[in-house]
Chains A and B, each alone.
Chain A
């Protein structure tokens, strides 16, 4: 029998707040989390806005920030969201077999210390031995504790330590679909009986000189520096790029009967997951949206649902000219005529683009939509684009009875992933148990 996977805890750290309530209140009020970039002096940068996590540190979860001071910002987000998720699921007071509790994160690449990196380069003479010389300078000036924390397996190791989670331990990086895939694959590990409980999600911050340099060179960023709150305009004709965001969301995924036995509160169910590749170009998505459509179709097939079962789509909706146009095409391709009926929104209009963490944060948004029966809006939507002609829930949150929702993610390199999250249905759970008996 198919092992069902439910969600028994959520933790988040976002530009709109570090609790699900704050996040939800901000989103449904249509509040923007975007403001002037403050994490470094960006005065002379072409882009000077970002969606930053403000006024938050690890004291929020009872950890002394000084003990984690050598960690990159995103690692502290992962720890914050992970501890919140675990506590909301009551993991610390439940006796869970350590080898049946695992971690699967989609924490993004961390970058070196920009100041020390550029210093090392400026102190190195060009020539045949440049790499060697760079190495000896770097060895002298980099902070060893901080450097080793940049390795991409570290956040998953820290979460395992905090929860004594001795089960499967993964981190994936698949650009902006990373944490969507982390949730999907973690659910699969539970279905395959490799674990009973998984902490899954992602964390990322690219609000540093490397990140702004990289995205700016890719011409991906909005340059509306003078009006940060209206800078991200997904599906609007005047959209001009995304705004870099940051944050984390971590879920506790759990096998249904395991959750029921320990009397855990159930937020919802992971019913479907799909991953695909455009196999087109590393820089652009396929012009027909074929890969995105395939991921959506797979997720629906996995959930054994039809397109008219989906009550809401949380789109990737970055606010770049290309993404929003092609994502619209892909939704039409996967949903047919139903594409014009299903309400869609991009919460990146308020949260910015948290890169590898966006999928997990948006999955949290989907669960909140299911819980409250409300879908958050796409803000800054004022001028319709003939190429984006679907219902994007413009500007005002809408009451929708959400039974099954779809969270869609698209990433550089041609990556696509989609999740179907559903309201937990006691009746169908009872039926499944009877059927199994």
Chain B
């Protein structure tokens, strides 16, 4: 068991856990002011959503501006669940959404298997089937959820308040992420068939739709607690440094493991050359969908975590202008570099909100939106590959397997191999 843990992983986890402990201690001692602690938590949240985008844009080559929409979905979903629990002592939000997520998720998985076997089914009719199934099961989920909520309520009420809230919070975060993933699947079905630029515009449209829906969430959608354009208040502020760090670590490990597997290579092959990937037996549509759903899952996760940092959500936070933030982070850090993305995501709030606020004299805060685009411009001119280019820290780097020594036997099997004749040096 211990043999499998190599030095690089040990070093990586040692350093990151050390970083976590140091920050945690500094927070407890009071050296790190709540202001900077919030910036660190924000950095981790940005890192999660940007890693999702890097999967989609950096590794799969799909230019998506929709991540902010999925971020918003995750945020509002999770906030709704915890809001109902803390303010109304009701788990109805939790159970209803849980059953919707589970039922719709199961339906999507089953339908995906079944419809995949049909020959020549076009994307739009498949989309209709999925959408009907999703709506039907959502109604069923609401019914089941309302029934289950009552016994669950009494179970959670019996637990100590802190533990119950934590359970609800963690479930809310996961449900928020899953809802975002499922919505992204449904949205991606027709849209992922578009070419890269058109896909970008379509996803931008998605972000705008989500923002407008949230503006009218109380009147149009009927969620009174979301308060529409007035902003949602009263969300418990339970996202601590521990939680964001835990989820960030899970996301990094998942992304790293996935990229270093055959599935990761399949994802990257789609970016490199779609036609060649198809000719190599890679189901391009499947991997586009997979990456898009996974990236949106991360976006939803980040949004759900974000909702519980300030305890306040406003549709303007999910404006499409902001949807360029993760894009800038990814490009700044280096397309296709996990290290760069995480680094840039932490630098982003620290520089923009922290340092520039401190450096610039009072009253000049607005100038930071001049300073940072300038920095971005300079960097694009000097280092167009991003801050880190293709660099990865050793744990995240793909190791080239050692050469094998069976070559001599291979040659003897095929003595006349013409490939041996070197044409070029």
**Are A and B interaction partners?**
no
Chain A interface (Cβ < 8 Å from any Cβ of B): none
Chain B interface (Cβ < 8 Å from any Cβ of A): none
